[in-house]
Amino acid sequence: MNTDRFGRSASLVDTPTLFEEIVSSDDASRVSSRCVYCKGSKMLCGKDRCSVLTRFFSASRAMKRIDRLDLDGASPPSVFVGRYGYPKVAVGPMIPPYHGDTSLMDTPERWVGLSIDEIVDFRSNLVRGMHWVDIHDVDNQSHIISRTRELALATKPPEVAALFSKKPHGRLTVNDDIQPFGPSAPLERFDVANFRFDGRLEKAYYDTDLLAKDAIISLYRDGSMLSQIQRAFSVGAFGAGRRRRFVPTRWSITAVDSQLGLNMLDTTKTFPLINEYRVYETTSLDNRWAILMMPTSWRYELIEAWYPKTAWNPYGDKIAIMGDHEFFDGRKEYASIGGCYYAARLAVNELLQQERRQAGVSILRESHPGYILPVGVWNVRENVRAALRTAPRRFPTLGEALTHVSIVMDIPVSRWIKNSAILKDALYQRRIDDMWG
pLDDT digit string, tens, across residues 299-354: 999 999 999 978 778 778 899 999 999 999 999 999 999 999 999 999 999 999 99
Residue 12 forms part of a structural domain: no
CB burial of 316-353 (b: ≥16 within 10 Å; e: otherwise) equals eeebebebbbbbeeeeeeebebbbbbbbbbbbbbbbbe
207: containing domain:
199-266
- pLDDT of residue 238 exceeding 70, the answer is yes
The whole-chain average pLDDT of the chain stands at 86
Same domain, 160 and 222: no
More confident residue, 63 or 227: 227
Same domain, 214 and 332: no
Return the pLDDT at 67: 84
- 54-71 pLDDT, tens digit per residue, is 665 566 666 677 888 999
- pLDDT of residue 39 exceeding 90, the answer is no
Q: Lowest-confidence range among 10-24, 80-94, 135-149? A: 10-24
Same domain, 93 and 52: yes
- The residue out of 193, 227, 252 marking a domain boundary is 193
Return the pLDDT at 124: 84
Same domain, 230 and 92: no
Residue 218 forms part of a structural domain: yes
Strand, coil or helix: what is 160? strand
Sorted by sequence, the CB contacts under 8 Å of residue 144 that are 6+ apart come out as 91, 92, 131, 187, 189, 190
Residue 1 forms part of a structural domain: no
Identify which of 115, 14, 20 has the alpha carbon closest to the alpha carbon of residue 60: 20
Most confident region among 44-58, 170-184, 239-253 by mean pLDDT:
239-253
Above pLDDT 70, what percent of the chain? Answer: 81
Same domain, 42 and 116: yes
Q: What are phi and psi of 413, to 5 degrees?
A: -55, -35
Same domain, 164 and 217: no
Same domain, 183 and 204: no
- pLDDT of residue 126 exceeding 70, the answer is yes
Max Cα separation, the chain? 89
Return the pLDDT at 30: 43
Residue 8 forms part of a structural domain: no
Same domain, 336 and 234: no
Cis peptide before 77 (omega within 30 of 0): yes
Same domain, 309 and 248: no
Residue 120 pLDDT level (bands cut at 50, 70, 90) = confident
More confident residue, 276 or 2: 276
Sorted by sequence, the CB contacts under 8 Å of residue 419 that are 6+ apart come out as 303, 321, 322, 323
Same domain, 309 and 419: yes
Q: Are 201 and 233 in contact (CB under 8 A)?
A: no
- pLDDT of residue 50 exceeding 90, the answer is no
Residue 108 forms part of a structural domain: yes
- pLDDT of residue 80 exceeding 60, the answer is yes
More confident residue, 27 or 342: 342
Q: Give this prediction's pTM.
A: 0.86
* Mean pLDDT across 74-94: 95
Return the pLDDT at 40: 52
Return the pLDDT at 430: 59
* Mean pLDDT across 77-101: 95
Strands 127-134 and 393-395: unpaired
- The residue out of 137, 163, 193 marking a domain boundary is 193
- The residue out of 161, 176, 193 marking a domain boundary is 193
* Mean pLDDT across 79-103: 95
Same domain, 246 and 144: no
Residue 13 forms part of a structural domain: no
Return the pLDDT at 194: 84
Residue 353 forms part of a structural domain: yes
Return the pLDDT at 108: 95
Same domain, 180 and 104: yes
What's the structural domain count of the chain?
Answer: 3
Q: Are 392 and 292 in contact (CB under 8 A)?
A: no
Residue 9 forms part of a structural domain: no
Q: Are 306 and 318 in contact (CB under 8 A)?
A: no
- pLDDT of residue 51 exceeding 80, the answer is no
Above pLDDT 90, what percent of the chain? Answer: 70
